[in-house]
Amino acid sequence: MKALTVAKYILQSQDQEDPDITNLKLQKLLYYAQGFFIAKYGVAIFDDDIEAWQQGPVVPTVYQQYKTSGSSIIPLPQEAVSLEIDDEQIAFLHEVLGVHSQYSAWALREMTYQELPWKLAFNNGKTISTESLGDFFRERL
């Protein structure tokens, strides 16, 4: 599955609970969704790479899609994506969002700065490996 599909689902599902999602916050929610999904199921929920940028973990394809929003709230996607995501993935995403969407974009960014997957990739290249995500988040399940 593409990260953009997961991103659109997050935006649609959070429209009522957290309608103020910016690109920065969306990036961090994708990072946590990917990390916990790998830890729980042993596979990635989306195929796109996550890179360690100055502002924390970023999925470049999703960043490019929404960069015109800048630091403003991302408008709600018009097309429905729930048919592309199965019930197990939906339930999982709601678990992760239930915990992490309560934090501001800046708080999430600060959290990721303290976490090993971002630190390793930021200091040693760019791409955050699925192995480092799995190892790190497995300890936090």
Q: What is the mean pLDDT of residues 79-92?
A: 82
pLDDT bracket for residue 84 (50, 70, 90): confident
The pLDDT of residue 82:
63
Reply yes or no on whether the pLDDT at 16 is more than 80: no
Supply the mean pLDDT for the chain.
92
Helices 3-13 and 87-100, interaxial angle, to 10°? 60
Q: How many whole angstroms separate alpha carbon 104 and alpha carbon 114?
A: 16
pLDDT given at position 15: 67
More confident residue, 125 or 50: 50
* pTM (predicted TM-score): 0.94
